């Protein structure tokens, strides 16, 4: 099984590029497509309908989308052992993280009109392939300067110049995917660590105040020590963190967690 | 590098309906200017894209492009330091937020060239030859008008992206002095392909490629008579430009005086 992650800011053209990739690969490989988003998406349904491949959508909701993606990856791999290629799409939102894994192929779709490449973090600097989109909107000079800017922050990357509207250039990505090796085991490693989640805001505090944040943090930490942190979902929430937030917000009861220490 | 490219060859692909194009091969030699004509949406820009990418049956059209009868090295396709092709697309705007002179310097660096103040001045000077309102080195790229942006792109191609093959997409829409721009871009000993809707430009080239439904349907060699007609059309256009200038300067246009003299011989054609 090959594991491919597409990441990029909203509107960069990820889904358009993926559609052409799926179109090229679907006849020769068993594909699975997972779309990660924050609040809502219909992209997976559109792709399922258009190309007749199995898909899923994963909404991060209250969680950091990158943390959530990492939590869900093992489940997706486990459930799709019969597939040849898993394609995962995520916005990789805060730019502090990158969702790429060492064993997979990380592709950053980067809008050429989005400004100096040096302002992106690991989402660009850790990418195996940078797919530069919307190049038809700018002059050759700007294309070349942008390309040089990408190589400055990520000298090892391969570059594909793509057009999400016409699909031109996507064939280069398809060739890289075809040549890419399979993952050896289910154990994957993140290319880049996640930012620390250590304050009261991480437990859902909304009041901008040092004391309130501290209070919320301590309450969250106490509860975290009482639950197993398995993200088993038996409490009705996707993850333990969401459960903790709900309890602290008064929207859930401690007893909803069947494993909570008394 | 310039002297190494003797010719570029287009091998047939398919049109929008998947039917094979009816020609064996199109050879364009050093020093030739070829125009690409056809209705909007016919696939003219696609042909430019195939050429820019040096397509190897890996684009929609499935065309194959050879240089000096050989399949070109992959590196020639994208590495700006090795590129053989400079192209002026249809884009009319810049997106980079920086002064003109810094931008040009960055472009020189990305092409692996040493930046020279003299050259940057020359690029701006030449751009100002084809635009109405002059560009200054300290102006921000984002504040340039459509015409100024295009003029700078043209001058950049002629002076920084120096390449043996030049692709030009609809230069007439730019709001710049078309003839001057072509003069700057089209140098001796280059291969030039121009997508155009402009009759005088189309008839001025050595050959023209006619495109329909995504496929090349005909290749015409420009006749001597057609070249004469091109000059004549050009003369009318220039007359129109003179009137445009007078309107822009607030003058009242009192009468139009166009004297049509029949073309007699080549020597009589005035430009």
What does the pLDDT look like over A157-177, one tens digit per residue? 999 999 999 898 999 999 999
CATH code at B54? 3.40.50.300
What is the residue-averaged pLDDT of chain A? 90
Report the distance separating Cα B78 and Cα A172, nearest Å. Answer: 12
Tell me the pLDDT tens digit for each residue of A241-252: 889 999 999 999
d(C-alpha B83, C-alpha A210), whole Å: 57
Both tokens of residue A44? 């997976």
| A140/B157 touch (CB, cutoff 8 Å), yes or no | yes
Of A137, A139, A144, the CB nearest to B110: A144
From CA A55, how far away is CA A34, in angstroms rounded?
Answer: 6
Confidence at A4, pLDDT banded by 50, 70, 90:
very high
Q: Are residues B209 and B241 in the same domain?
A: no
Beta carbons within 10 angstroms of residue A10's beta carbon: 10
**Hey, is the C-beta of A118 within 8 angstroms of any chain B C-beta?**
no
The residue ranking higher by pLDDT, A168 or B258, is A168
Which region among A64-68, A100-104, B257-261 has the lowest average model confidence (pLDDT)? B257-261
**Where in the sequence is the domain holding B52, given as residue range(s)?**
2-222
Does the predicted interface ipTM exceed a cut of 0.85? no
SS3 B239: helix
List CB contacts (< 8 A) between B78 and chain A.
147, 159, 161
CB–CB contact A142 B111 (8 Å): no
B179 shares its domain with B228: no
Who among A138, A159, A168 is closest to B95 (CB)?
Answer: A138
Find the mean pLDDT for residues B232-255. 86
Determine whether A151 is exposed, middle or buried from the number of CB atoms within 10 Å of its CB (0-12, 13-18, 19+).
Answer: middle
What average pLDDT does the segment A19-38 reach?
94
The three-state secondary structure class of B166 is: strand
User: Residue A66 and residue A63: Cα distance in Å, rounded?
Assistant: 8
Q: Out of A113, A144, A148, whose CB is closest to B95?
A: A113
B147 with B268, same domain? no
Task: Name residue A4's beta-bridge partners.
Answer: A87, A105
Clarify whether residues B21 and B112 are in a common domain.
yes
Least-confidence region, from A45-49, B76-80, B219-223: B76-80
**Pairwise CA distance, residues B209 & B217, whole Å:** 8
Residues of A with Cβ-Cβ distance to B91 under 8 angstroms: 136-139
Q: Are both B203 and B175 inside the same structural domain?
A: yes
Q: Do residue B200 and residue B237 come from a single domain? A: no
> Does residue A86 register a pLDDT over 70?
yes
Considering only CA atoms, give the Rg of chain A.
Answer: 20
Same domain, B174 and B261: no
**Alpha carbon of B94: minimum distance to chain A alpha carbons (Å):** 6
For A184-222, b/e burial (b = at least 16 CB within 10 A) is: eeeebebbbebeeeeebebbbbeeeeeeebeebbebbee
Please give the tally of structural domains in chain B.
2
Q: Are residues B146 and B191 in the same domain?
A: yes
Look at residue A197 in the predicted model and tell me its pLDDT. 65
Mean pLDDT of B247-266: 73
> Which helix (H) or strand (E) segment is A17 a member of?
helix A14-25
Q: Which two tokens stand for residue B246?
A: 């007078």
pLDDT of residue A80: 94
Other C-beta atoms within 10 Å of B182: how many? 19
- Indicate whether B210 and B126 sit together in one domain: yes
Residue B229 and residue B206 share a domain? no
CATH code of the domain occupying A200-256: 1.10.15
Chain B residue numbers with beta carbons less than 8 Å from the beta carbon of A138 are 91, 93-95
pLDDT at B182 exceeding the cut of 90: no
Q: How far is the C-alpha of B61 from the C-alpha of B215, rounded, in Å?
A: 8
| Position B185 pLDDT exceeds 70 | yes
Q: Which residue has the higher pLDDT, B119 or A67?
A: B119
Contacts of B110 in chain A (CB under 8 A): 144-145, 147-148
Q: Do A147 and B110 lie within an 8 Å CB cutoff?
A: yes
Query: Reading across the β-sheet that carries B207-212, which strands appear in turn?
Result: B85-88, B165-169, B191-195, B33-37, B207-212, B215-221
Quote the minimal CA–CA distance from A135 to chain B in Å. 10
Query: Per-residue pLDDT for B269 more than 60?
Result: no
The CATH classification of domain A2-179, taken from the options 3.40.50.300, 3.40.50.1360, 3.40.50.2300, 3.60.150.10: 3.40.50.300
Predicted confidence band at A93 (pLDDT cuts at 50, 70, 90)? low
The lowest-confidence range among A12-26, A186-200, B132-146, B232-246 is A186-200
> B184 and B264 share a domain?
no
Domain edges within chain A: 2-179, 200-256
CB contact under 8 A, A144 and B107: yes
Predicted local distance difference test score (pLDDT) of residue B259: 66
pTM of structure: 0.82
Confidence of residue A182 (pLDDT cuts 50, 70, 90): very high
- Over residues A122-136, mean pLDDT: 94
How many contacts, defined by CB atoms under 8 Å, are there between A and B?
66
- Name the band, by pLDDT with cuts 50, 70 and 90, for residue B261: low
Q: Do B19 and B133 belong to one domain?
A: yes
């Amino acid at each position: 099984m090959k594991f491919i992650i597409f990441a990029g800011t909203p509107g960069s053209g990820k889904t358009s590029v993926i559609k052409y990739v799926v179109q090229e690969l679907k006849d020769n490989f068993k594909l699975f497509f997972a779309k990660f988003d924050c609040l809502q998406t219909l992209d997976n349904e559109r792709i399922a309908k258009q190309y007749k491949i199995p898909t899923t959508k994963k909404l991060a909701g209250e969680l950091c989308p990158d943390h959530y993606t990492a939590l869900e990856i093992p489940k997706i791999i486990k459930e799709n052992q019969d597939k040849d290629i898993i394609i995962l799409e995520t916005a990789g939102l805060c730019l502090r993280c990158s969702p790429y894994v060492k064993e997979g192929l990380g592709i950053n779709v980067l809008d050429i009109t989005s400004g100096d490449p040096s302002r992106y973090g690991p989402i660009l600097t850790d990418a195996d392939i940078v797919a530069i989109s919307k190049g038809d909107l700018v002059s050759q000079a700007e294309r070349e300067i942008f390309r040089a800017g990408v190589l400055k922050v990520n000298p090892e990357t391969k570059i594909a110049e793509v057009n999400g509207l016409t699909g031109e250039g996507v064939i280069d990505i398809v060739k890289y995917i075809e040549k890419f090796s399979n993952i050896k085991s289910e154990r994957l490693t993140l290319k880049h660590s996640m930012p620390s989640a250590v304050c009261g805001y991480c437990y859902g505090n909304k009041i901008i105040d040092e004391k309130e944040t501290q209070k919320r943090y301590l309450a969250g930490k106490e509860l975290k020590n009482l639950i197993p942190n398995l993200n088993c979902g038996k409490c009705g929430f996707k993850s333990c963190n969401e459960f903790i937030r709900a309890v602290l917000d008064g929207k859930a009861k401690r007893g909803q967690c069947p494993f909570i220490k008394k | 590098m310039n002297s190494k490219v003797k010719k570029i060859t287009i091998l047939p692909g398919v049109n929008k309906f998947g039917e094979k194009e009816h020609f064996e091969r199109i050879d364009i030699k050093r020093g030739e200017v070829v125009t690409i004509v056809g209705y909007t949406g016919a696939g003219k820009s696609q042909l430019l894209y195939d050429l820019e990418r040096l397509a190897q049956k890996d684009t929609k059209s499935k065309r194959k492009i050879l240089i000096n009868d050989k399949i070109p090295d992959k590196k020639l396709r994208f590495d700006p330091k090795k590129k053989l092709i400079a192209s002026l697309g249809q884009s009319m705007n810049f997106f980079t937020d920086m002064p003109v002179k810094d931008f040009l310097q960055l472009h020189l660096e990305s092409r692996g060239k040493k930046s020279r103040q003299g050259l940057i001045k020359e690029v701006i000077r030449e751009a100002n030859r084809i635009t109405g309102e002059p560009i200054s080195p300290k102006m921000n790229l984002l504040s340039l008008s459509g015409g100024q942006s295009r003029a700078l792109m043209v001058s950049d191609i002629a002076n920084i992206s120096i390449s043996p093959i030049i692709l030009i997409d609809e230069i007439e829409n730019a709001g710049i002095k078309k003839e001057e721009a072509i003069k700057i871009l089209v140098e001796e000993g280059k291969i030039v392909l121009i997508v155009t809707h402009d009759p005088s430009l189309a008839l001025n080239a050595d050959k023209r490629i006619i495109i329909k439904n995504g496929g090349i349907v005909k290749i015409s060699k420009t006749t001597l008579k057609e070249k004469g007609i091109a000059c004549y059309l050009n003369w009318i256009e220039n007359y129109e430009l003179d009137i445009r200038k007078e309107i822009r300067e607030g003058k009242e246009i009192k009468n139009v005086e166009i004297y049509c003299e029949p073309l007699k011989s080549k020597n009589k054609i005035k430009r």
